[in-house]
């Protein structure tokens, strides 16, 4: 049985170092991330699973896919970013704000694609 995201994020965040936060979002691809499943996965690889949440690499995408397939809304409420834990944590509006310990969310141009993907129905390609 999979661990739900809030508990998993709290557990994994304990291993983060403050120096990691400086680099999050610094290497946004030219033109930004695409507002689709590929762009979300690329963002996780660039900003979440490198240096802080390596253990989430195989788990998080699978959990989100299962969540969407089952319509449980644990991580993503398709069409409603404000009610989606995934958006809340990167936007610092709920859940455990990520990057963990950072006083501010990542720049909007780094995370806007997540909002747009969820708002457009969170389609898994």
The string of pLDDT tens digits covering residues 43-72 is: 888 877 666 766 665 567 788 889 999 999
What residues contact 39, with CB distance under 8 A and at least 6 apart?
33, 113, 117
> Band of the pLDDT at 34, cuts 50, 70, 90?
very high
| Under 8 Å between Cβ of 41 and 56 | no
Q: Is the dihedral of CA 78, 98, 16, 40 positive or negative?
A: positive
The Cα 67–Cα 75 span in angstroms is 7
Give pLDDT tens digits for 89-125: 999 999 888 888 888 998 998 899 999 999 999 999 7
Cβ neighbours of residue 2 closer than 8 Å, sequence gap 6 or more: 59, 62, 63, 66
Q: What is the pTM of this model?
A: 0.74
Cβ 106 vs Cβ 90: under 8 Å: yes
Task: Compute and round to an integer the Cα radius of gyration of the chain.
Answer: 13
């Amino acid at each position: 049985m999979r661990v739900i995201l809030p508990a998993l994020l709290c557990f994994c965040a304990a291993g983060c170092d403050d120096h990691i936060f400086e680099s999050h979002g610094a290497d946004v691809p030219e033109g930004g991330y695409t507002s689709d499943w590929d762009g979300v996965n690329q963002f996780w690889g660039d900003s979440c699973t490198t240096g802080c949440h390596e253990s989430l690499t195989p788990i998080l995408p699978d959990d989100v896919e299962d969540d969407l397939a089952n319509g449980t809304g644990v991580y993503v409420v398709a069409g409603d970013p404000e009610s989606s834990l995934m958006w809340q944590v990167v936007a610092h509006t709920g859940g455990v704000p990520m990057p963990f310990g950072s006083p501010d969310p990542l720049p909007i141009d780094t995370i806007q694609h997540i909002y747009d993907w969820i708002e457009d129905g969170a389609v898994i390609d």
